[in-house]
Every structure is written in structure tokens, then in C-alpha cells.
Chains A and B, each alone.
Chain A
Amino acid sequence: MAGENEYLRIDFGGAAFLLLRRASLAVEQRENLLVNEGGGAVSAWRAAGKDRWPAFCLDRNLRLVSGGGWQCAVFLQLDPYPVGLVADEVQLLPRSEVRVEPFTPPGIAPTRKGHLFSGASVGGGQVLFEFDPNVLAAFLYRLEAPQ
């Protein structure tokens, strides 16, 4: 099936990560988002009918930071509403350009849903971690109302 194993390369905070393309609900450019100038955890919202979907800005260590010069946001499906991750750049990688191997991060999982990464791609002296979309979505959702 077309796009079944294609990946998005998501660059932010000086690092890059992978996400299965089919796990992405939408990629929206900054000019189509409502940028939050008022502070708080949310960097921007995407209007969706009566709802609005929050997007968050993370650094390379996946810590919440204030939004900077990001260009777009990747949204993931989640109940009760989708959540997003802002990025400097999002690229679609053809299947031939990426080979993702399974990867289990050591140590205690940083979220209740488990580890944020389920795979990684190794090549060109670089390791790109692949997000587990369900865990990433839950992780982002909790950023809006940290416990």
C-alpha cells in the first residue's frame, strides 16, 4: 500500500526524529495555525470546526520549551482531540531511504504508556529515533495539564 511504511523526518531543537507517515493526522504550516503569544504550554492551535488542537514545542531532549522559529506542526490522532508537535522542518522519506530497526530504550519508561521510541534508523553516522505514535500523543496531551 502506498505510504504504508513511509516515514516523516521531523526536525526540531537541532535534532531529528522519525514518525510513520500513516500515524500523522495532518501536517500544518505555521501560517495556518493560531500561534499562542500569551505564554503557557501550548505553542499554537489548529482550528478544527468547534475544536482546536494544541501543538507543543519540545527541545532535543523532549523537554517542553517556549515556541521559537518553528515552521509547521505534525498532529497525531488522540481522544478527546488530536495533539501536535511543532517542528522546524518535516520531510517525507521514501521507503528506500530509511530502514528502521526495532529498538527498546533501556531503563524505566518515561511515560505511563511506555517508551517514546519503538525503533531507530542507523546510517551515515546518525541515529534517528522513531516515535511510537500512541505514546508520543499521550505524552504531548499530558503537557497541557502536567501532573
Chain B
Amino acid sequence: MSSPTVQPLHALEIPTQALSLLVPSACVAEVVSHCALAALPLGPEWVLGVMGWRSKPVSVISLETVMGRVAGLPDRLSDPDTGPRRRGTRKIVVFYPLPGRKPWEFFGIVTCAEPQSHVVDSAALAGAVDTPNSGIIAMTVQLGNSVMAIPDMGALAAVLYP
């Protein structure tokens, strides 16, 4: 009996000021240009505001503020040689609602640069490293010279919708 074949994963690198996230492309509804945000009264500090997207209100969050502190990141995520590259053009990545959430609960993350597509093979995924006690980061993975963080979507959902 042959061993199961791991299919290459289409993923999106999302560069933020603190780190680069790597998420399955299927999680992402659209990448849009940064736009004006409406302030959310009495919202947490990590909510930057609310944008209109396809006639829907979408909360836009600062991943850096959600995570609280860069110092708490795994070392290689904050390493200037392997950490996020800063290229300048801010975007908002609109995510589909997290598992178990209401169908209208799209949310956005602000990037510090244009997101990049990657095809991640099984060898790269096999080299992923668990990052216990890193909050919303489940693992890190190295692609080329860059180290990226794979978010724990369940943990992120618990922060966004406690």
C-alpha cells in the first residue's frame, strides 16, 4: 500500500511589520488596497477600524497589536535576515470567516507590503517547527531565505470573538 501523497499547498505570504504570515490561499477572499476605515467605538485597540467591502462591513485588525509584542515571537521570525521584508505598499487582506464563525464575519489584516503567492511543497511543510506559547502562531516554516509564521486559526478566532 502506497503512502499518502501530500499535495502542494497554494499559500499566500502576508508581510506585516512584525512578521510574515503564511496562510492557505483558500482562506483569503481578496487582497485590496488600503482604504479609509471607520473607527469602531469602544472597540479593542487592535481593531484599526471597519471598511466597506462588497457592501459588507469588515473589521480590519492589526496583527502586531493582537500579538502584543514582537519580543514574544520565535527568534527567527524577528531576525532581520529571515523575518518580514518591508516593501512599502500597504494592502488589506480580506479573510473568509474563521471556522465555526458566522458567514458574514469576514475580517481584514493590514500588510506592510504586497502579499506574495507561494506553492509550498511537502518538504517545506515537513520542516515546519512548532512554536508553543506563541499565541496565535502555530508553526514557523522556512521558504527560501524567509521564515514565515503559520497562524493558529482557532486561537485567532478565540481572540477575535471571545
* Interfacial residues, chain A to chain B (CB-CB below 8 A): 15, 60-62, 99, 101-108, 110, 116, 119-120, 122-123, 125-127, 129
CA distance A22 to B52 in the complex (A): 26
The smallest C-beta distance from A14 to any residue of chain B, in angstroms, reads 11
Contacts of A62 in B (CB 8 A): 41-42
Number of A-B contacts (CB under 8 A): 69
Quick one: given A106-B47, A106-B61, are A127 and B52 in contact (CB under 8 Å)?
yes
The contact size tier of chain B is 20 to 34
Per-position contact with A for B38-71: 1 when CB-CB < 8 Å, else 0? 1111111011001111011101010000000000
Q: Is A101 in contact with B160, judged by CB distance below 8 angstroms?
A: no
Q: Which of B40, B102, B104 has the most CB of A within 10 A?
A: B40
* 10 chain-A/chain-B pairs, Cβ below 8 angstroms: A62-B42, A99-B55, A101-B104, A102-B102, A104-B104, A107-B47, A120-B50, A122-B53, A127-B57, A129-B40
With A103-B57, A107-B160 as contacts: A116 and B104 at CB distance below 8 Å: no
What residue of chain A has the Cβ atom nearest to residue B49's Cβ?
Answer: A127
Q: Tell me whether B104 and A107 are in contact (CB under 8 A).
A: no
**Shortest Cβ distance from residue A44 to the other chain B in the assembled complex, whole angstroms:** 22
Who on chain B is nearest to A60 by CB? Answer: B41
B123 contacts the other chain (CB 8 A): no
Q: Which residues of A contact B57 (CB under 8 A)?
A: 101, 103, 119-120, 122, 127, 129
**By CB atoms of chain A within 10 A, which of B56, B57, B104, B160 has the most?**
B57
Q: Is the CB of B50 within 8 A of A60?
A: no
Contact present for A125 and B36 (CB under 8 Å): yes
